[in-house]
Each structure stands twice: as C-alpha cells, then as structure tokens.
Amino acid sequence: MQSTTGICNVETIRSIDGSQLGSSKPVTILAKLWDTVGQEKFDSIPKRYYKGVDGILLVYDITDSTTFDKINYWMKQIAQNVSSIPIIMVGNKTDLESLRAMEYQEGK
C-alpha cells in the first residue's frame, strides 16, 4: 500500500470464475482499497471515492474496541454519500485472539 496524505491505497485487478456470479465467462474485478486508518480527520477525503463504488469493506481491529466503535461513524458517512450498496464488516488481527477486546458476537 502506498501512503497518500496519511491514507494508504492499493489497486488490484483479479479474474474470477464467473459461475460464482452467474456468468459462464470469467469476470474481471477491479478492487480499489483505501485505508483511512479510521481517523475522522480523513472524512472529507474519501467522499470523492464513493462515486461509482459497488461495495464497501469496513475493517476493525478485534484487539482495540475503539476501532469497532468507529464503525457507526463510517456507516453514517457512507449513508450520506451512497445509497444501497453492500457493506462488509471484517474483524482483523484474529491471530491475536488472546488480546481480543470485544466479544465475537459484537462483530456479527
């Protein structure tokens, strides 16, 4: 990932089996990932990146409950900028289970 004004981003193109999406042909997916490091100071930067998105991935750290608490903030930002797109929430650092700061069920 490259840092741009405190935001890391990566772009990747992948071809997947189209049958997973109801197609008989392979499907090419362009994924643009922006890591805003969960900081509200970057809330104005991502707004331009909402245009044309087909889904959003929100990631929180299972060892830091404040990152999960910020999910509501980002959900509001998303609701203000796009309508009806899939949102996937992912808990990372699952290899640090012994340091878990929140219950598994909270993230479901």
What are the structural domain ranges in the chain?
1-35, 37-108
The alpha carbons of the chain give a radius of gyration, in whole angstroms, of 16
Each residue's pLDDT tens digit, 55-71: 888 888 999 888 888 88
Which pTM does this prediction carry?
0.68
Half-sphere exposure of 13 (CA within 13 A, CB side): 3
Query: What is the third-level CATH fold of 37-108?
Result: Rossmann fold (3.40.50)
Parallel/antiparallel/unpaired status of strands 56-61 and 87-92: parallel
Is the pLDDT score of 1 beyond 60? no
